[in-house]
Amino acid sequence: MKDQSQFWFMYFDFRYEREGEPNLLAPVDVFVSTVDPLKEPPLVTANTLLSILAMDYPVDKVSCYLSDDGASMLTFEALSETAEFARKWVPFCKKFEIEPRAPEMYFSLKVDYLKDKIQPTFVKERRAMKREYEEFKVRINALVAKAMKAPAEGWIMQDGTPWPGNNTRDHPGMIQVFLGHSGGHDTEGNELPRLVYVSREKRPGFQHHKKAGAMNALVRVSAVLTNAPFMLNLDCDHYINNSKAAREAMCFLMDPQIGRKVCYVQFPQRFDGIDRHDRYANRNTVFFDINMKGLDGIQGPVYVGTGCVFRRQALYGYNPPKGPKRPKMVSCDCCPCFGRRRKLSNYSKHGTREEGTNVHGSSLEVLEEDKELLMSQMNFEKKFGQSATFVTSTLMEQGGVPPSSSPAALLKEAIHVISCGYEDKTEWGIELGWIYGSITEDILTGFKMHCRGWRSIYCMPKRPAFKGSAPINLSDRLNQVLRWALGSVEIFFSRHSPILYGYKGGNLKWLERFAYINTTVYPFTSLPLLAYCTLPAICLLTGKFIMPTISTFASLFFISLFISIFATGILELRWSGVSIEEWWRNEQFWVIGGVSAHLFAVIQGLLKVLAGIDTSFTVTSKATDDGDFGELYTFKWTTLLIPPTTLLIINIVGVVAGISDAINNGYQSWGPLFGKLFFAFWVIVHLYPFLKGLMGRQNRTPTIVVIWSVLLASIFSLLWVRIDPFIVRVQGPDVKQCGINC
């Protein structure tokens, strides 16, 4: 974890932003991706884009690219409205230095917005800007309402031509520059950052690789049009909450000592719209404030998909630069000198041919050089694809576009690099860019970089850099966890499994490897967790205390292990500042997700590996209800709800059965009962948030869930009673009982 002080910022500004001299901050390309505008509302995406365009960074060094993988005309028209509103919003933000610079979040702040504002015109301009934003929202909502009624013949653009993306699975590549250096100015005449709409080509029969493929298309488009050496990746619902976030990252990426070996700077994810008690641990505080901090001390944190600033060269598959080597000695021809002699050249200092060379020798050397150049070009095309402009950009470590390139030629080349067949027979998705092969492409991408020897940085500024929305509804939250867990299972069974991959170079540190192993094997803990949650109910229903017989040494080992884990947890809480309540919510949802989403992920992962049955996922809805936390109480049916409900019913029935049995058998049976009840209550208490979410606001559990859970619990209990493995079955007559001497 790195927390910059004010002194460090002053030093950084003095080094790269001296008054009266050209600004030396490196350019940044910002990537935002969206797919379905009905599940990812255009107004949410617009707020993210506006916060990017208004961030505190030199405008001539910021370019924002929006990837519309759904080729939606609604997204295109909403982006056009956003570009127009940005001409008014950006100068307002920079003039009064407001935070955050996403208008929806800024105008919804319940604080004294007049505090520390000494400009007398601020109140008047703020009211006028709020009216402008309300009108902007009306226009966006009108576009959304219009998109709900799609015409049968498809959408028609204003010039009368059909919208190229009417068929979302078969359309050409589309690029539109809305704002830029050649005419993108605000209402005060100041330059605005470049804003580019990108929708890559899609054709039937091609593998498009979902979000990872869209991100790789943005890498190539940006390399052709702007080619900034650094790239910021954001989800469409993660706006910039700290306008200096890019500067925070540059403190590390441009550091003269460690910066050249840093592949990315990862920021923690923070969320809006979560209930105060965080019932389903949506904030992931334990992961972001404990685990990621710990990883920062090894080789760096894992990449978590958003809020990350990349070094472009690292995404191209290049290895980090080596340390400075000792220069080799070069000597002359005299005897006292030591070292390697200088190699004779064919031409003298004055340009005349030296003796001992001939025309044929020179021609052969020229041919050899041309051959090497040709082979090098062929290797680059095999690696990066057949675009000379793009291949040239990959060799420019400091970024930039050749000044002789015309905008029309660059746009034509940009369309070429987002075509369907561009990645064929290349290393895209294998060694370059976002890596294919898992729905959690972020883990794979960061893992490949660390295997090459790069390190990453975890940056936690006092003001959170980015904020987003989280699916606080129980069903959506479980589906989100299922997607993450299934991605981990896919990685575990792939060739990129951290157990087997990356030993050749020896660049991945062992503790970092263990961390990646943990990110891929954690779904498999659902199997022993499910057994552990079922065991107390079995003990209560059968009247037996089922525990394996273990030695005294093993007992002491497990007790010491439990004490060490508990002590480590206390130290982590004190070190990280995470509250006990947040830790407890995380523990509860670990059990809820473990017996549902993680279990389903293991089953689906095995089906995919063994039977080739693939599972498709839909985008999590980013829309929220108007009421306070209204989505929290919304019930959506999913099979993920059945296992936890079954466990709840079994354990509750077991508690009732155990207490009833103890009452009937007298006081001597109460002693063993307490041990069984302790573990049963442990399961029930951990599943309590799930029970509240299941009952919703009406405190009534959906009938379908109850029917399935009772059915499964009954079948399981009857089978257990029928084949009770703890009853000793005696074969043949019992000699001692009958008294017959056989």
Q: How far apart are CA 439 and CA 53, in angstroms?
A: 30
- According to the annotation, is 628 in a ligand binding site? no
What is the spatial distance between Cα 232 and Cα 514, in angstroms, rounded to a whole number? 28
CA 556 – CA 562 distance, rounded (Å): 10
Check whether 581 is labelled as a binding-site residue. no
Q: Is the peptide bond before 498 cis (omega within 30 degrees of 0)?
A: no
User: Residue ranges of the alpha helices (H) in 226-351?
Assistant: 245-253, 285-286, 292-296, 312-315
Q: Beta strands 466-469 and 239-240: pairing type? A: antiparallel
CA–CA gap between residue 359 and residue 365 (Å, rounded): 10
**Secondary structure E strands in 117-252:** 174-179, 194-199, 230-235, 239-240
Q: What is the DSSP letter of 148?
A: T
- Distances in Å between the alpha carbon of 637 and those of 277, 472, 474, 633? 24, 15, 10, 13
Strand, helix or coil for residue 469: strand
Task: State yes or no: 608 annotated in a binding site.
Answer: no
DSSP-derived pairing of the beta strands 308-311 and 262-266: antiparallel
Helix (H, G, I), strand (E, B) or coil at 586: helix
**Using alpha carbons only, what angle is made at residue 280 by residues 279 and 281, rounded to the nearest 5 degrees?**
100
Which of 590, 603, 581 has its CA nearest to residue 690?
590
Tell me what percent of the chain is helix, strand and coil, each rounded to the nearest 5. Answer: 50, 10, 40
Active site residues: 69, 442
Residue 427 annotated in ligand binding: no
Report the run of H or E that residue 553 belongs to, with start and end.
Answer: helix 552-576
357 class by beta-carbon count within 10 Å (0-12 exposed, 13-18 middle, 19+ buried): middle
Hey, what are 529's tokens?
A: 């967790």
293 labelled ligand-binding: no
Return phi, psi of residue 372, to 5°.
-65, -40
Q: How far is CA 246 from the centre of its chain?
A: 18
Backbone angles phi, psi at 401, to 5 degrees: -115, 140
Q: Is the dihedral of CA 265, 266, 268, 272 positive or negative?
A: positive
Nearest to 622 by CA among 223, 117, 180, 104: 104
Alpha carbon distance 703, 64 (integer Å):
48
Closest CA to 470 of 696, 239, 288, 283: 283
Across 15-35, b (16+ Cβ under 10 Å) vs e yields ebeeeeeeeebbbbbbbbbbb
Binding site residue list for Mn(2+):
211, 235
Binding site residue list:
33, 39-40, 69, 210-211, 235
Binding site residue list for UDP-alpha-D-glucose:
33, 39-40, 69, 210
